[in-house]
Copies of this chain bind each other. A is one copy, B any other.
Amino acid sequence: MSLYDETVPHFSQMLDNVDRWLQAAATVAEEGGFDAENFTTLRLAPDQFDLTRQVQSACDAAKLACARVSGVDAPKHADGPATLAELRARIADVRTFLGGLDAARFEGKDEQILRPAFLKGMGATFQNYVRQFALPNFYFHVNMTYAILRGAGVKLGKRDYIGHMTLVKPEA
């Protein structure tokens, strides 16, 4: 196991799930006869990010964490207002980036020190960065996306949240 295993599979799986939730929102809008883009500016509280920014932040959390650990530059994306289609394209772009990363580039980094700008001069080991910041931060934006859609009437359940599981057959 390496930091690759602790990051890329989580990010890939959950971004695929977010993509499906956005599709589900579009379906709800179509069936309800309203503009699907209305979902993009919903937020849980007036001083919290809206759906658009939550999805963008989930994408950024995934790509930046992997860029930092692997040393590979992440694709750049502009923030600001976006359509559901643009959000889905951003997810697809990050999925392509994640899919192209070589797991070997994540090895041996655990105890090296990362000094990201947001720590203002302080540092953290890559291992602590991943476990104490990158992964919980990613799950935060994914879950706020889910919470906004769920609270707005999109029929999502735990199965939609979990998504794919790699199963083995029953015992003979």
On A, residues with C-beta under 8 Å from B are 1-2, 5-6, 9-10, 13-14, 44-45, 48, 110, 113, 115, 119, 121-125, 127-128, 131-133, 135-137, 139-140, 143-144, 146-147, 150-151, 153, 158, 161-171
Contact = CB atoms under 8 A, between A and B. Distances in A.
Given A140-B158, A143-B143, A143-B147, A168 B10 contact: no
Copies in the complex: 2
A1 B132 contact: no
B170 A132 contact: no
Contact of A132 (B119, B147, B162): B162
A167 B10 contact: no
15 contacts: A1-B110, A10-B131, A13-B132, A44-B150, A115-B171, A122-B169, A122-B170, A123-B168, A128-B166, A133-B162, A135-B135, A139-B143, A143-B143, A147-B147, A151-B151
